[in-house]
Amino acid sequence: MTFIRPEARATLWQWREVIGAALMTLLGLKWAFTSFGFTAITGWALIATGLVTAVIGAQRMRFRRGTGGPGVVQVDEGQIAYFGPLTGGAVAASELERLALDKSARPPHWVLEQPGQPPLAIPVNAEGSDALFDVFAALPGLRTERMLSELRKGGPHQVVIWERVPSRPEHQRLH
């Protein structure tokens, strides 16, 4: 028996990192201002950790596009696998050459390109796609805020989010 409606539970689950960070920060504030010595120092450390965790949690929350989309994403030891109803495939995160967001598809798709293989298109709302945030954030030079803003915006075309080796002249910008 549950006392929380499924919609409220889903909303709380989406905000889980931010809620945890807020609780951590509140505990740190209590310890920092009501204690002395080691406990006060621990309180200040909890405040700093809570603030950093809140920023990361907010980014993760903005990345999530829900579930129930076609297919399942699995990330295991640097291998991104997508098992879809019509397509599928696997890409090694270390071998990625380009990451793009295809906004013309419904739902929008992440397009992962690896040399020697066809591009792998993963719907942003596929089951388990929230695990892609950590993989994408680990790409060298990827700007997380730009990725999140492109994800939020609509548009009729594909946008390159990250490239290992830029395929355009240095003086031309992507967007």
pTM of the model: 0.74
Contacts of 32 (CB under 8 A, 6+ apart): 40, 43, 44, 46, 47
Domain final residue, candidates 35, 63, 91:
63
pLDDT at 118: 92
Residue 151 pLDDT greater than 90, yes or no:
no
If one counts the domains in the chain, the total is: 2
Provide the residue range defining the domain that includes 117.
72-163
Tell whether 95 is covered by a domain: yes
For residues 48 and 96, membership in a common domain is answered with: no
Torsions phi, psi of 29, nearest 5?
-65, -45
pLDDT-derived band at 175, boundaries 50, 70, 90: low
In the block, tokens 């098992």 appear at 83
For residues 154 and 83, membership in a common domain is answered with: yes
Tell whether 101 is covered by a domain: yes
Q: Tell how strand 120-123 and strand 109-113 pair up.
A: antiparallel
Q: Are 46 and 25 in contact (CB under 8 A)?
A: yes
